[in-house]
């Protein structure tokens, strides 16, 4: 970091101007919205704040959100570890293509993710008859679209690459020599993973899990397409939407009160991120 030291001395006039522009931009564009949520949420006082957090709808939405988040995080962490191992410990044809496919959820509209499940499991979807016949044969009542499984799937879709994306770069820089040595000495796959690979990616995995959790808690577009019943399949962001669109001054303040929960989680994630980055250095 010698270059950093060299530059510290000469910030100069242009430097000061650029720093001022940057600080103002960050404060205005990024920090002010967070402050605004908190200010708006407390407009009617603490009593109103806690009351609006403990309504039947909000508590139900909290439960659905937590369930969907836990499922999505478990699935995507498992996937991230497996895909990370595959994409960094082996060379094979089509590897780059596979890596690109995993990143699809980053670049498509979440609304399309919701639509995709409707077109698969919904009334017109090709999988609907299969689920119907399962329900008929076993007397079950499995529903995917407009029910909890759909919410879980949509949440998993949008957060799919979050853990693998954190793990893969770390494993790439670590290389595969240690694993190869261990394998030549006769260690089994799971043992190699547990003793050699995982210690390297412990922090990256935890950080990926945190990011995945934050994103899963806040997913809106994909879930909005697949969830229609307030108090049953609504998640917190959908509840915020319903409260905000109800339009009365009280319900808007309640929307901000629920939002403030998610803002606090967002801030906690930022703090943890900083903590884990220092850990790695």
Partner 1 sequence: MDSDKKSRGKRVVPGFGLTLGITISMLSIIILIPLASVLGYSFQLKPGEFFDIMTDSTVLWAFFTSIVMALIAAVINVIFGTILAWVLVRYDFPGRRIMDGLIEIPFTLPTAVAGITLSKMYSTTGEIGGPLSALGIKVSYTHLGLIVALVFIGLPFVVRAIQPVLEKFDYQYEEAAYTLGANPRTTFFKVILPELRPAMITGFGLALARGIGEYGSVIYISGNSAKEHTQVVSYIIMQKLERLDYAGATSIALVMLLISFVLLLVINIVQIRQSRRTNNV
Among 115, 131, 143, 232, binds partner 1 (CB under 8 A): 115
Among 33-41, 50-58, 130-138, 200-208, the segment contacting partner 1 (CB under 8 A): 33-41
Among 114, 146, 201, 209, binds partner 1 (CB under 8 A): 114
Among 49, 57, 234, 256, binds partner 1 (CB under 8 A): 256
| 87 touches 98 (CB < 8 A) | yes
Among 47-55, 116-124, 130-138, 200-208, the segment contacting partner 1 (CB under 8 A): 116-124
Among 55-63, 122-130, 132-140, 199-207, the segment contacting partner 1 (CB under 8 A): 122-130
Task: In angstroms, give the least distance from the CB of 195 to partner 1.
Answer: 13
Among 3, 46, 139, 248, binds partner 1 (CB under 8 A): 3
Nearest to 73 by CA among 168, 148, 152, 150: 152
Task: In angstroms, give the least distance from the CB of 198 to partner 1.
Answer: 14
Task: In angstroms, give the least distance from the CB of 146 to partner 1.
Answer: 11
Whole-angstrom CA distances from 14 to 4, 5, 7, 274 are: 17, 18, 13, 28
The DSSP code for 42 is T
Whole-angstrom CA distances from 277 to 95, 203, 266, 274 are: 28, 9, 17, 5
| 153 touches 227 (CB < 8 A) | no
61 contact partners, CB below 8 Å, separation of at least 6: 231, 234, 235, 236, 238, 239, 258
For partner 1, the closer CB: 8 or 139: 8
For partner 1, the closer CB: 124 or 199: 124
């Amino acid at each position: 970091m010698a270059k950093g030291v060299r530059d510290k001395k000469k910030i100069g006039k242009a430097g000061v101007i650029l720093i001022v522009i940057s600080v103002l931009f960050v404060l205005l564009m990024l920090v002010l919205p967070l402050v605004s949520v908190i200010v708006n949420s407390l407009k009617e006082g603490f009593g109103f704040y806690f009351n609006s957090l403990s309504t039947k709808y909000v508590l139900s939405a909290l439960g659905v959100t937590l369930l969907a988040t836990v499922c999505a995080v478990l699935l995507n962490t498992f996937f991230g570890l497996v895909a990370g191992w595959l994409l960094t410990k082996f060379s094979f044809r089509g590897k780059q293509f596979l890596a690109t496919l995993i990143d699809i959820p980053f670049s498509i509209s979440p609304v399309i993710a919701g639509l995709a499940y409707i077109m698969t499991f919904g009334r017109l979807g090709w999988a609907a008859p299969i689920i119907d016949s399962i329900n008929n044969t076993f007397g079950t009542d499995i529903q995917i679209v407009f029910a909890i499984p759909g919410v879980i799937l949509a949440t998993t879709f949008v957060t799919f690459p979050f853990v693998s994306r954190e793990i893969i770069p770390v494993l790439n820089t670590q290389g595969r020599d240690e694993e190869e040595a261990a394998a030549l000495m006769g260690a089994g796959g799971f043992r190699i993973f547990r003793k050699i690979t995982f210690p390297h990616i412990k922090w990256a995995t935890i950080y990926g899990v945190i990011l995945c959790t934050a994103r899963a808690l806040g997913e809106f577009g994909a879930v909005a397409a697949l969830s229609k019943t307030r108090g049953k399949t609504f998640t917190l962001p959908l509840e915020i939407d319903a409260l905000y669109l109800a339009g009365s001054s009280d319900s808007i303040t309640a929307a901000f009160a629920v939002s403030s929960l998610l803002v606090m989680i967002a801030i906690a994630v930022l703090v943890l991120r900083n903590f884990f980055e220092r850990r790695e250095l």
